[in-house]
Amino acid sequence: MELLQREMSFESHADGERIFVRIVEPADRTTVKGVLQIAHGMAEHSLLYMDFATYVASNGFAVAINDHLGHGKSVSTGGSYGYFGENGCENLLQDMHKLYEIMRHDYPDIPYLLLGHSMGSFLARAYSARYGEELSAVAFLGTCGPIQRSLLTGRRTFAEAKRRKFGPKAHDAAFARYSTERFNRAFAPNRTKHDWLSGDDHFVDQYNNDPLCGFDLTISGYCDILQLQETNQLSPLVSQRPPEHPHSVDERGSRPAGKLRKRDPSAGAKACAHGP
C-alpha cells in the first residue's frame, strides 16, 4: 500500500505557540477505514512513533500525532521544554481536540480512535471523558491505577510549594528522583539512566541520543501532571465516558507510569506480530 507522510502545524490553545503534527495515511483516501490519533508520553516526541504509525497506516488507517506543547517541535523560539503554559494540561487537551477537528475535516465519516501512552494516557483519559461522544474507541497504554488520595494530595502540595518558591519554569531534581529515577532503580544494575524505557538497548540508546528526548519537566509541568492525575481519579467527568465505546487499559507499558514489571525485550515484536 502506498503511503503518504506530511507535516503541518496549527495555533496552540496557548497564546503565541504552534503545535507540530506528523500524519501518515494511505495515498488513496477512499481506502482509509479509520483514523488513529496518538498522544505521546513525557519528554519524548512524535518522531519516536513513526515506525508504529507507518505500520498502522499500512493496514488502512490515517494516523496523526502531534508534539505536545513544551515537547519536540512544539516549543517556540526561546520557549521552555517541559512547560505547558499558564493553563497547564488544559492547553494540551484543547490542542488534541484541534487536531481531532483537522483530521475529522479530512475524514468525516469513518471510525476515530485515540491512543495515549504514559503521560499521553492521562491526557487521553481526560480527553475521552470530555469528548467521548466523538470517539469510536480509546486505548490507554502505560497508564496508572488509583493513587491513595492522601499521597496524591501530599505530592501536589509539595509541587505547588516548589512552584511558588522557584517559579513555574524552574527545575527541581526532586521530581526526577520520585519519578523516572525511581523507575530506573527497578531495573538495576543500570547501563544508562533510561534503562526502564525498554528491554531493547537499541531503543534506549536512540532515546538517549535524541536531543529532543529525556529533558526534565519544569516544576509547573510536574504540577500540571499531578493535577491531571487528580482530575482523572477524583472528577466525576471520568465516569462520563460513554460506556458503549470500546476501550483498552494496559498498565504494563514499557514506560511504567503504571505497574513496574520485568522487561520483555520481545514485547515490541509481539505487538507488531499481533497487530495494533
pLDDT at 276: 33
Q: How far is 64 from 183, CA to CA, in rounded Å?
A: 29
* Least confident interval from 16-30, 76-90, 236-250: 236-250
Q: Tell me the average pLDDT of the chain.
A: 87
Name the β-bridge partners of 93: none
Side chain identity, residue 204: V
Residue showing cell 503541518? 8
Q: Tally DSSP H helices, then E strands, for the chain.
A: 9, 7
Q: How many CB atoms lie within 10 A of CB 251?
A: 17
Here the CATH number for the domain that contains residue 118 is 3.40.50.1820
pTM listed for this prediction: 0.87
Domain with 91 in it: 3-274
Convert the pLDDT of each residue in 167-226 to its tens digit.
999 999 999 888 889 889 999 999 999 999 999 999 999 999 999 999 999 999 999 999
User: What pairing do the DSSP bridges indicate for beta strands 112-117 and 3-11?
Assistant: unpaired
pLDDT at 113: 98
Q: How far is 64 from 60, CA to CA, in rounded Å?
A: 13
The count of domains in the chain is 1
Convert the pLDDT of each residue in 117-153 to its tens digit.
999 999 999 999 999 999 999 999 998 878 888 888 8
pLDDT at 248: 57
